[in-house]
Amino acid sequence: MNIFNRMTIIKECLKETFQSKVRWKSTIYALSSGVGKCGVSIIRVSGSCASNAVLGMTTLSKLPEPRKAYLKKIIDPITREHLDNGLLLWFPGPMSFTGEDSCEFQVHGGRAVVSSILQGLSKLPNFRPADPGEFTKMSYYNNKMDLTEVEGLFDLINADTEFQQKQALMQLEGSLRKLYSSWRCILLENLSNVEAYIDFSETDNIEENILDDVNLSLENLVSAIEAHLSDNRSGELLRDGVKVAIIGAPNTGKSSFLNFMCNREAAIVTNIPGTTRDIVQVSLDISGYSVNLIDTAGIRCKTSDIIEEIGINKAKDQAQCADLVILIVDVQQILKAKDINFWFQEYSEKMNVDLKKCLIFINKVDTVSINQLSKLKDMSIHSSFKVCFGSCITNKGLTKVMSAFKNHLHKLCGNPNFEQPRCSQIRHRYCLETSLFNIKKYLEVSRIDMNVDVAADYLRRATHYIGKITGHVSTEEMLDTIFSKFCIGK
């Protein structure tokens, strides 16, 4: 690379750095409430020049008392044209959401009103529109929130169900921050003891059992992290929703069951086998749990229809990756079964599903006699899996099916509580697993090889990955990914 090319690259880097600093020092503004016509819209401003918005966009001659609402005329800062009458709130830093000087204009929600005020703010020096999630990013950079709380805020905004809201609110209030920060403190304390042993064990009086104390502390931490991770991803399932696949042979009532769950005709129902060719997905709130319910094509061994074959392959794929499978069986199919356990073992293999994650619903009980149904129920009592009986035509037994379904959801997701916060993100789980691996490597190397210098490096990595969860250690790329998910104005 010649000198000219190197100088060009250096200039571009300096230019980007300068632009980044200018952008950082800018005061940002955005519509923080929903887009479109509404009764009230909230326009948020944050930055070192936020006071200029208060004085420039109103007739005030001095800053108002903080955190009190004032009804004022909102005006254009250049033309002094009257734009609207609205509420003004002033939040001087650091006692604000972002930790910087901030203000809010609560104005009428007409598009013309909002547009005129945003245009007025753009006329103020060093003011610019906010990027997606930039207000929250400022809050993070000013130590008002850590990354787990940021993610909790994002989850709270996007929560669709009661338990999603509950888990997100607890995370926003610091349930995970307190837990992961305490683990990081334990690692830092033990790392400092190991570093002290390395630096001063030969020249100073270091306690002889200091490494034994470190090992004991880390063993307890390993147990705590393993217990935290052994939740079968319940926190992630609660946050992302439980994927439930409805599987069965053709014409067993899968689409009828989906329609019952949705309380509407979400899928076409006919008495012709193979009506459903592709998957049909519906998002539901079942007793506070988010459920992605998936109706699939009927699975049979052979078909000459290419489209149906594609649908069957999709159904098997859905069964494999689902968190819970509702296996629907026509009662006529099992009337001759001598051993219901053996029959379902063979049937599940044909369906390509694991019985351990199945709720079995035997449908069309209205087509058999009372004696036949009693016999089947007696056989199912001794089965090793949950079996429910009912009819989608008469609605008989569907209440019990729903009750069993809710119990399965509760086992999968649980009920969030502040005392035992759960891992809610794949990112958290990856960092915890990596940290756990390095703690175990430290214990292994320090005991077997007695090489404390090498072992200490594993402890540093473990501390690093715990810190990445809360944002004590981070990269700009990771931060950009997290904050870019937010809408503009948050």
- Domains of the chain are 24-141 (3.30.1360.120), 149-231+423-471 (1.20.120.430), 239-413 (3.40.50.300)
| DSSP string for residues in 381-416 | HTSSS-EEE--TTT-TTHHHHHHHHHHHHHHHH---
Terminal alpha carbon distance of the chain = 44
Residue 426 has a pLDDT of 92
The secondary structure of the chain in percent helix, strand, coil, rounded to multiples of 5, reads: 50, 15, 35
Angle, helices 210-229 vs 175-200, to 10°: value is 150
Report the C-alpha gap between 58 and 74 in whole angstroms. 5
Burial of 485 (0-12, 13-18, 19+ CB in 10 A): middle
Angle, helices 147-158 vs 452-470, to 10°: value is 30
DSSP bridge pairs for 72? 86
pLDDT in tens, the chain (490 residues): 444 454 444 445 434 443 444 445 689 999 998 777 888 999 999 999 999 999 999 999 999 999 999 999 999 999 999 999 999 999 999 999 999 999 999 999 899 999 999 999 999 999 999 999 899 999 999 989 999 999 999 999 999 999 999 999 999 999 999 999 999 999 988 888 888 777 765 555 566 678 888 889 999 999 999 999 998 899 999 999 999 998 888 888 888 888 888 876 655 555 555 555 567 888 889 999 999 998 887 777 777 677 777 877 888 888 888 899 999 988 888 887 777 778 888 888 877 788 888 888 988 888 888 888 888 887 777 677 788 898 888 888 889 999 999 999 999 998 888 888 999 999 999 999 999 999 999 998 887 766 778 888 999 999 999 999 988 775 555 456 556 666 666 6
Distance of CA 88 to the CA centre of its chain: 34
Which residue in 126, 64, 136, 72 sits closest to 100, CA to CA? 136
Distance of CA 115 to the CA centre of its chain: 33
Which residue in 328, 321, 333, 385 sits closest to 355, CA to CA? 385
| DSSP string for residues in 252-281 | SSHHHHHHHHHTS--S---SSTT---S-EE
Residue 278 has a pLDDT of 66
Which residue in 84, 90, 81, 61 sits closest to 72, CA to CA? 84
At residue 289, the 3 state secondary structure works out as: strand
Residue 269 has a pLDDT of 53
State how far the alpha carbon of 252 is from the alpha carbons of 270, 272, 329, 331, in Å. Answer: 11, 11, 6, 9
The reply to whether omega before 94 is within 30° of 0 (cis) is yes
Structural Rg of the chain based on CA atoms: 30
State how far the alpha carbon of 79 is from the alpha carbons of 55, 57, 122, 123, 431, in Å. Answer: 14, 11, 13, 10, 54
Report the C-alpha gap between 354 and 322 in whole angstroms. 10
DSSP state of 14: H
Residue 255 has a pLDDT of 83
